[in-house]
């Protein structure tokens, strides 16, 4: 699908893809603010199709794929701290680290301190990416975790119509969902 013929619609779609809220993209596209107008525009099929197309194009342009994201999570999740040291126990230079190790390091600071009589001491501070978050993300992608939902309902010892019963059950289910 090519760019939308209505310029403001195209600007709106591009704004949404850039990360703006629907309302902000609506106003920035040149529309006057109005109650639910942005939501109505967003619900149109041609708008949804164009937004999906722009998002897909952006992902392809930046080479973002599910495999690549999982690969990056795996670098963090399966990082082994022992591999950043050489056989003598010295920290390897960043250029010596393989990609899978370097991808798990989020920060590196080297402090140089004078220790008198011409001696210099180097202290390396390494900040690693959050391993648990990476493993959780991989697990969720692989559907390894199941969420258990328990609904409790009170028994009413009163004769009510089927419609009233359905209404009360819906109310209790909504109330429980809001508590979660």
Q: What pLDDT, on the 0 to 100 scale, is given for residue 65?
A: 75
168 and 175 Cβ atoms separated by less than 8 Å: no
**Model pLDDT, residue 68:** 80
Q: Note the pLDDT of residue 45.
A: 93
pLDDT along the chain (180 residues), means of 10: 88 91 94 90 93 84 76 87 89 88 87 84 86 82 73 69 84 84
Q: Tens digit of pLDDT for each residue in 59-101?
A: 777 776 778 888 888 888 888 889 989 999 888 888 899 888 8
pLDDT of 113 = 84
114 strand-pairing partners: 120
The pLDDT of residue 144 = 76
pLDDT at 46: 94
DSSP state for residue 83 in the 8-state scheme: G
Report how far apart, in Å, the C-alpha atoms of 81 and of each of 76, 97, 123 are: 11, 12, 16
Q: Which helix (H) or strand (E) holds 97?
A: none
Residue 14's pLDDT is 92
């Amino acid at each position: 699908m090519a760019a939308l013929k209505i310029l403001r619609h195209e600007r709106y779609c591009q704004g949404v893809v850039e990360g703006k809220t629907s309302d902000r993209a609506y106003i920035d596209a040149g529309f006057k603010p109005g109650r639910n107008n942005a939501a109505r525009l967003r619900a149109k099929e041609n708008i949804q199709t164009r937004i999906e197309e722009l998002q897909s194009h952006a992902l392809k342009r930046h080479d973002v794929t599910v495999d690549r994201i999982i690969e990056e999570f795996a670098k963090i999740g399966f990082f082994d701290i022992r591999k950043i040291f050489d056989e003598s126990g010295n920290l390897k230079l960043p250029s010596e680290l393989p990609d899978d190790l370097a991808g798990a390091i989020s920060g590196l600071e080297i402090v140089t301190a004078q220790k008198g009589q011409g001696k210099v001491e180097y202290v390396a501070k390494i900040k690693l990416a959050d391993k648990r978050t990476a493993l959780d993300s991989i697990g969720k992608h692989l559907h390894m975790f199941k969420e258990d939902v328990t609904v409790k309902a009170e028994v009413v010892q009163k004769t009510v119509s089927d419609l009233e019963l359905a209404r009360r059950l819906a109310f209790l289910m909504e109330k429980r969902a809001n508590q979660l």
